Amino acid sequence: MLLRPSPFWRSLALVVCALALLLPLSGCGGGGHTVTIPITAATPPVGTGLLVAQPGWTVNFPTRTLAPRKWTVLVYLNAANNLEPFGTQNVNQMEQVGSTNDVNVVVQWKRLGGTFDPAGGSWTDTRRYYITHDVETGKVNSPLISQNGSVDMGKPQSLQEFVQWGVAAFPAEHYCLVLWNHGAGWRAATRSALTSPTRGISYDTATGSHIETIEIPGAIDISSAGLKWDLVAMDASLMQMAEVTYEMRAKTRFLVGSEESPPGAGYPYDTILADLTGAPTEDGRALGQQFAQDMLDRYGPNADTTQSVLDMSQLDSVRSSIDQLGSALLAAEPAWGTQIATARSQSEFYGHGDSLYTAYKDLTDYLDELTQTHSTGSPFVNDPGVLTAVASVRNALGNAILFNVHGSQHPNSHGLSLYIPSPSQYQSVELDQASGFGQPYPSLSFAKDAPNWASFLKNGTF
C-alpha cells in the first residue's frame, strides 16, 4: 500500500478558504477559481421537490429533489472484497472536501464487516451517504441517508437502481459516475482463494457475483431521465481497453480509466474534489483530465500509473479501423505471420505480468511494433494492406484519446489497450469463459461489430 500525504495542509487550506468567504472582496484558491462553501451540516440538504423513493431501503433521511447544482458525483463503491480498507480511506478523502453549494457527492458503499478493515467498523450492509466536509480522517461522519442489508453490488440491477435514484434526487447540470472496485478488463478471472479473489468489475465477495462487461451499458443507463453521463471514471483495474470502452460509447461523453491495475488506494479523491469544487463550471473532459493528472501526481512519475481520457463519440471510428486491421492481418499472415506474432509479443502489456492479462496490449505500441523500420529500411510487416490499416487506426486513436499520462514503468502506454492474444491464449480463454464465469469474447459488442478482428483472433495461426 502506498502512503498518502498527511491531510493537515489541505484541511488547513479549506478552513482558510471558508473563513475568507465570510470577508468582503476576499477569496481563496489558485488559478482564479471560485471556492464554494463546503457543506458541514450533520444532515443532507433538504430538498423541496418530489420525494424520490428508495424501495427496500431503511431511510434515515428521505430524499426530495434538490435544486439543481453544477455537478453531481455518484460513487458506486463496492468494497465487499479485499479492497475494503481502501474504501474507508477513499470516503475519508472525499470528506476532506465534501459536497458544496455547487457539487453533490453521493456514495453507495458496501463492506464485508471489517473482514479486511477492522478499524472501519463491523457493518456489513450497503449504505448511502451524502458526503459532507469533515477533517477527521479516521472516521466517516457524513450523514447516512439509507441502508439495505440485501443489496448485491455485483448485479447490474443494483447499479441501475442507484444511478436512477441518484440523478433524480440530486439534479445537476453535469453528472459524473465513478465505478469503484476490482476490474479485469473485458473478461473476468476465476480465482480459488479469497486472498487472491475472483476478479470482475464490481465483484461482490459476499455474493460471488460481478457485473459483466456486456451488462455495463444497461446498468449505467440514465436515458430514461433524458440524461447522459458527462464523465464515467473507472476506479478499477485494466478497464481502459477498446472492448470495454466500446460498450459504454453511447452512455457517456467522456471516460477516464487505466490500462494497468492501479494501486489499491485508487484515485486521490481529496485533490480531485478540491479541483472540481474550485472550478465547478468545468465540463466532463476537464474533470476527466483532473482525475488522470491527479492520479499521476499522487503516485509519482516513477510508478506504473496509466490514465487516459477518451472522447466516446470517436469509438465507432476506432472500432471500424481495428476491424479493417484484423482483415489485413489475417490476409497478410501467410507471408508475414512470424513478424505479426513477434510484434504482438513485444508490445506493452498489463496486469503486472499476470498471465491472465498479458494479452492486454497497448494498441498504439502494437501499431508501432508492426511498422517499426528494420535495418533494411523497410517496415517490419511490409504489407500494403496492413500499413494502410495501421494508418487508419492511428488516425482514429488520435481523435479518440484526448489526454494520456503514464509513469516511467509503462513508457509505451498511449491510452487504450486491446485484447491481442496468441492463438493458443485465445482458445484457452474461450474454454475458461465457457465455464460460466464471464462472457466469451464473441459476446462483446466490439467483437460483433468488428467481425474481421474477431475472425483474426479466432482463426489466426501465428
**3 state SS of 201:** coil
What is the DSSP pairing of strand 172-180 with strand 229-235? parallel
Residue 54's identity, in one-letter code, is Q
Domain 8-312: which CATH number of 3.30.70.360, 1.10.287.70, 3.40.50.11970, 3.30.750.24 = 3.40.50.11970
Dig out the grid coordinates for 182 from the structure: 476490482
Q: How far is CA 213 from CA 39, 187, 243, 267, in A?
A: 36, 7, 9, 22
Q: How far is CA 146 from CA 63, 117, 129, 202, in A?
A: 10, 22, 7, 21
Q: How far is CA 338 from CA 326, 365, 427, in A?
A: 16, 18, 19
Dig out the grid coordinates for 238 from the structure: 485494466
**Dihedral-angle region of residue 214 (phi above 0 means left; psi in -120 to 50 means alpha; beta otherwise):** alpha
Query: 377: burial class by Cβ within 10 Å (0-12, 13-18, 19+)?
Result: exposed
Q: How far is CA 326 from CA 259, 329, 348, 393, in A?
A: 21, 5, 19, 11
Q: State how far the Cα of 191 lies from the Cα of 200, in Å rounded to an integer.
A: 11
Q: Phi/psi of residue 358, each to 5°?
A: -65, -15
Dig out the grid coordinates for 209 from the structure: 457475483
Cβ atoms 14, 97 nearer than 8 A: yes
Question: For residue 121, what pLDDT is reported?
Answer: 83
Q: State how far the Cα of 271 lies from the Cα of 292, in Å rounded to an integer.
A: 11
Question: For residue 34, what pLDDT is reported?
Answer: 56
Question: For residue 18, what pLDDT is reported?
Answer: 38
What is the DSSP pairing of strand 51-52 with strand 360-362? unpaired
The single residue listed with the C-alpha cell 474481421 is: 452
What is the DSSP pairing of strand 58-59 with strand 144-148? antiparallel
Length of the chain: 462
Predicted TM-score (pTM) of this structure:
0.90
Domain boundaries, given as residue ranges, for the chain: 8-312, 315-459
As averages over each run of 10 residues, the pLDDT of the chain (462 residues) reads 38 37 32 65 87 97 96 97 94 97 98 85 93 92 96 97 98 98 85 54 89 96 98 97 98 98 95 98 98 97 96 98 98 96 96 89 98 86 97 98 97 97 91 73 96 96 90
Q: State how far the Cα of 417 lies from the Cα of 427, in Å rounded to an integer.
A: 20
State the DSSP H helix or E strand holding residue 163, giving kind and residue range, or none if neither.
Answer: helix 156-169
